[in-house]
Amino acid sequence: METALLIISVMLIAIVLLQSGKASDASQIITGGNTELFQSQKERGSELLISRITLILGLSFFILSFILYIS
């Protein structure tokens, strides 16, 4: 179980680093730039795939951590 948690955590770190820089867009709130920040933009293609993989890895990390804590 600990090995699976370690593998999932490394994969989660790698997939988060692959995501596009949304934090740089959020920093423009203070400066008043980027009027497209709050518009509804759908993720498509590889961004959608990376977001779904991140969600799956995050949930599995949480569940495995919780199981290891209980046992």
12 within domain boundaries: yes
Measured between alpha carbons, how far is residue 31 from residues 25, 26, 28, 34 in Å?
11, 10, 5, 9
Overall number of domains in the chain: 1
53 within domain boundaries: yes
Residue 30 CB-half CA count within 13 A: 4
Dig out the tokens for 63 from the structure.
Answer: 């569940």
Domain interval for residue 56: 1-17+44-71
Q: What is the pTM of this model?
A: 0.70
62 within domain boundaries: yes
Question: What would the pLDDT profile of 4-20 be if each residue is shown by its tens digit?
Answer: 999 999 999 999 998 86
Residue 26: exposed, middle, or buried by beta-carbon count in 10 A (0-12, 13-18, 19+)? exposed
52 within domain boundaries: yes
Question: Given pLDDT bands bounded at 50, 70 and 90, which one contains residue 46?
Answer: confident
- Dist CA 66 CA 22 (whole Å): 29
Question: What would the pLDDT profile of 48-64 be if each residue is shown by its tens digit?
Answer: 899 899 999 999 999 99
Question: What would the pLDDT profile of 29-44 be if each residue is shown by its tens digit?
Answer: 566 555 555 566 667 7
